[in-house]
Amino acid sequence: MKRLWLLFAQTVTLLLAGFFVVATLKPQWLDRKPVLSSVVPVFESASSSSSQASNGVRGFSGAARAASPAVVSINTSKAAENAAQSEDPWFRFFFGDQGQAQPQTGLGSGVIVSPAGYILTNNHVVEEADEIEVILNDGRKSVAKVIGTDPETDLAILKIELTDLPVITLGNSDDLLIGDQVLAIGNPFGVGQTVTGGIVSALGRTQLGINTFENFIQTDAAINPGNSGGALVDVNGHLMGINTAIYSRSGGSMGIGFAIPTSTARSVMESIVRDGQVTRGWIGVEPQELSKELAESFGVPLGTGVIITGVLQNGPAAQAGIRPGDVITTVAGRSVSTVAQLLSAVAALAPGTPATLELIRRDGKQQVDVTPGKRNLQRPTPAR
């Protein structure tokens, strides 16, 4: 009996083993679907997901491919200024040529914005340079000429004489939102063109002490020395800003970089190309942010306008009857609630053309017509 039971058990085991082998290797013999068929949709889904991820990656690489050819490296040099004693034969006899200063060189980036060869960059990249060399991403080189500069926004326009130039597409920086993804393209530390990625961390940054007119895009895309003048682009490769400055304790990127919006760069560029300079309005006032106490004193909501604490004698504002204590709320129909907004609105006025300002005094609201003068960089503060 024991032997029969053992024989039965062995037979069942062999049958089960055979069934498993047939079911796995030749399921069609049993007229059933493969055991692993249920796994297939999972791999298909993963493949589809990977394809979508790849498409996203290709989107960023597509933006880089679209914008990178138009981003150039800029090398500058400035002739050395020798110390006065370096020409003294006795000084040279005892100390040799130690007084012979070496030429100063600089590195930066720029963006080709026109087939005619116009390049947008930072003023501090080319300031006081005697020679400027532009190196394209395709290896071509050209000496550049300065068409004009605007130190108050730290922008400059160069021009090179080359053909078949790649041109970047100017985007609308006013459409940017905090959290939008952006790429920074430039030549950091002279290592060669580099693309870094990040998001828009903040918009409308002011009072940083970098420029007179500030309206920066803040990004955490890595920006380092040499990136100045380079491109900040969106995921379509459209130019959204000109990389300008970083906050850093070490000299390298700490995730806080600033770019000049394309909206500002476009207007400056058009003025420089058209007139050779940027012409801005000026009315001669000293403004101050409206504090909570001052707002309550004047009976106006906080953030309604900007209070005037000083008026330049015989300036346009004084001639129009504006006086200290006035709270300016609008300039030519444009609402202002900060000093930066007032400065920008007044600068946008055409010199010699009257403009209407709305203001609040203790005796109520008033309108005054001011004929702005031409803003001069040499004017001392208070000249807003």
Query: Does 294 fall in a domain?
Result: yes
Q: What is the pLDDT of residue 233?
A: 94
Task: Please tell me which residue in 228, 253, 263, 344 is annotated as part of the active site.
Answer: 228
pLDDT classification of 247: cutoffs 50, 70, 90: confident
Q: Tokens for 69?
A: 């050819």
- CATH number of the domain enclosing 188: 2.40.10.10
Query: Does 215 fall in a domain?
Result: yes
> What average pLDDT does range 3-27 have in this prediction?
64
Query: Does 346 fall in a domain?
Result: yes
Residue 308: which of 292, 322, 291, 293 has the closest Cα? 322
Query: Does 142 fall in a domain?
Result: no
Query: Does 295 fall in a domain?
Result: yes
Q: Which residues, other chains included, contact 352 with Cβ-Cβ below 8 Å and sequence gap of 6+?
A: 371, 372, 373, 374
Are 270 and 177 contained in the same domain?
Answer: yes
Q: What is the pLDDT of residue 103?
A: 63
Are 299 and 358 contained in the same domain?
Answer: yes
Q: What is the pLDDT of residue 53?
A: 39
pLDDT classification of 380: cutoffs 50, 70, 90: very low
Domain limits for position 360? 281-374
pLDDT tens-digit series, residues 305-358:
888 889 998 899 999 889 888 889 899 888 888 888 888 889 888 888 999 999
> What average pLDDT does range 146-162 have in this prediction?
92
Tell me which of 99 and 9 has the higher pLDDT.
9
Q: Is 47 a catalytic residue?
A: no
Q: Is 154 a catalytic residue?
A: yes
Are 264 and 308 contained in the same domain?
Answer: no
Are 314 and 342 contained in the same domain?
Answer: yes
Query: Does 301 fall in a domain?
Result: yes
Q: Total structural domains in the chain?
A: 3
Q: Is 267 a catalytic residue?
A: no
Tell me which of 246 and 283 has the higher pLDDT.
283
pTM of this structure:
0.69
Query: Does 311 fall in a domain?
Result: yes
pLDDT tens-digit series, residues 23-67:
655 555 555 444 333 333 333 333 333 333 334 445 588 899 999
Are 324 and 352 contained in the same domain?
Answer: yes
Query: Is residue 85 pLDDT above 60, yes or no?
Result: no
Task: Please tell me which residue in 154, 220, 234, 326 is annotated as part of the active site.
Answer: 154
Query: Does 133 fall in a domain?
Result: no
Are 190 and 261 contained in the same domain?
Answer: yes
Are 255 and 338 contained in the same domain?
Answer: no
Are 243 and 291 contained in the same domain?
Answer: no
Please report, rounded to a whole number, the percentage of residues in the chain having pLDDT higher than 90.
Answer: 32
- CATH number of the domain enclosing 368: 2.30.42.10
Are 332 and 243 contained in the same domain?
Answer: no
pLDDT classification of 253: cutoffs 50, 70, 90: low
> What average pLDDT does range 258-286 have in this prediction?
89
Are 331 and 358 contained in the same domain?
Answer: yes
Q: What is the pLDDT of residue 204?
A: 83
User: Residue 27 class from Cβ within 10 Å (0-12 exposed, 13-18 middle, 19+ buried)?
Assistant: middle
Query: Is residue 88 pLDDT above 70, yes or no?
Result: no
Are 268 and 181 contained in the same domain?
Answer: yes
